Structure 1
């Protein structure tokens, strides 16, 4: 029953209708209004809170100043991007490591990085990964006894970022190396496999095509015949995907020119094309 029909029903109720029935209908109409509002937000991708606030002017200025991907979007797509950034900040716990606080700039730009990668999926927010740990620089891992710039830990539900390395990734946007995109790509690939509300969002047929082409290119890399990807991409399929994502956003012209089939499949997989952002 629609809100309009409920209102009409209330208006034409019999004078003899008892007060409890009228009250029930009134409460029902209010509930429908509230649920309709919440549904509208869910359709826009806002799954956790049933409400949203606009991104603050301070946060918008951070995006305008430091995030080229956002700046090249059309006004309507900018609004969608802002909504996703706002929601991502809202649902994640940003945890400082060896620094006093995670600043607004850190929160906005790390969130924007995740939104850049997931922009083709309005309802995907990497929901399994509740925590974003931010270090000032490379950090020492007690698990494998080595220094890291970043990692994704599904057991701890965490994405870990070296802020220095993250900034460096966006400072040189054409070298095909971007720590933020690399780690968020790992999180995205894992998120697709984890049984939750965001499970299995990748198209299975497209993913299979991707893996076939990826396997071929990993062989080329191992043989020293790749003109596109660094050797680390041949480590395993997860690292190949992460390195491909870096190049997809940072060197799309070269990527498409040298590997049009692989590039085209990644366009389908991520539901966006850096060469046609509008």
Structure 2
């Protein structure tokens, strides 16, 4: 019996030491690192990475230039995140649509692409993804191609328009990125995503708002004639549209609006 309690005590001490080290790492070491480098100390660490079947990897290669351009090592990170995304969230078809594995894969890949620079890549602000064949009537009676309902913890897509956003990947119209950008914003600013990624996102969003408040910057934005008019609806729609453009025509974005491009790049810790 004495040996049993001694073992329990040692386990307790070990767990306490691990917790203390983690606290020091996340609250002191990484905070200092972020002050100097404006990014998390690390993003990807998976002791037991999950793998996708070869068919799924081919779908990613064929449909996502982001994935194609990753190194083999980072492709494994990407696949691991997709596996966990599909496992965590519920996918429901509506209007007679049957949700296929490829649909789940493409939706998951869009979210993983958006959050690939963030250590915390799964969120609790939604738990269900609903997919209609085409435009759908929302609860408020309006017709939509996509929406995010934080109260219902639901993201809704028209599959027709979601698929078009992937198929035409340089037209700066990507429904999946747009709606998931709203999710990311609520998770990072409205609820405060824990950890380095949430802090960086919220800080950089503040800087984007300062950038928009500057009359000279507003004039340059309009003169560039780059973003579609919907971007100027409000700050939330601005960020959603900007993230579409960031992934679809990044070189043009950087050339036309280098300061804003740099802010967005830091905001999501994007690494080429």
TM bracket (short chain)? 0.7 to 0.9
Instruction: Say which of 228, 236, 247 aligns to 1:249.
Output: 247
| 8 Å CA contact 2:146, 2:157 repeated in 1 | yes
Q: Could you tell me how far apart the structure 2 residues matched to 1:146 and 1:221 are?
A: 34
Name the structure 1 match of 2:237: 239
Name the structure 2 match of 1:188: 184
Q: Verify: 1:146 aligned to 2:142, yes or no.
A: yes
Name the structure 2 match of 1:66: 63
Give TM-score, length-normalised by structure 2. 0.78
Q: CA deviation at 1:164?
A: 0.7
Residue 153 to residue 221, structure 1, CA distance change in 2 (3 Å): farther
Q: Could you tell me how far apart the structure 2 residues matched to 1:68 and 1:29 are?
A: 50
Instruction: Say which of 87, 103, 109 aligns to 1:112.
Output: 109
Q: Could you tell me how far apart the structure 1 residues matched to 2:237 and 2:54 are?
A: 37
Q: CA deviation at 1:157?
A: 0.5
Name the structure 1 match of 2:152: 156
Name the structure 1 match of 2:123: 126
Q: Rg larger in 1 or in 2?
A: 1
Higher helix proportion: 2
Paired residues in the alignment total 243
Structure with more contact order per residue of length (Cα contacts < 8 Å, sep ≥ 6): 2
Instruction: Say which of 225, 228, 246 aligns to 1:227.
Output: 225
| 8 Å CA contact 1:45, 1:84 repeated in 2 | no
Give TM-score, length-normalised by structure 1. 0.77
Name the structure 2 match of 1:56: 53
Instruction: Say which of 91, 96, 107 aligns to 1:94.
Output: 91
Q: Could you tell me how far apart the structure 2 residues matched to 1:216 and 1:112 are?
A: 35
Residue 92 to residue 249, structure 1, CA distance change in 2 (3 Å): same
| 8 Å CA contact 1:221, 1:230 repeated in 2 | no
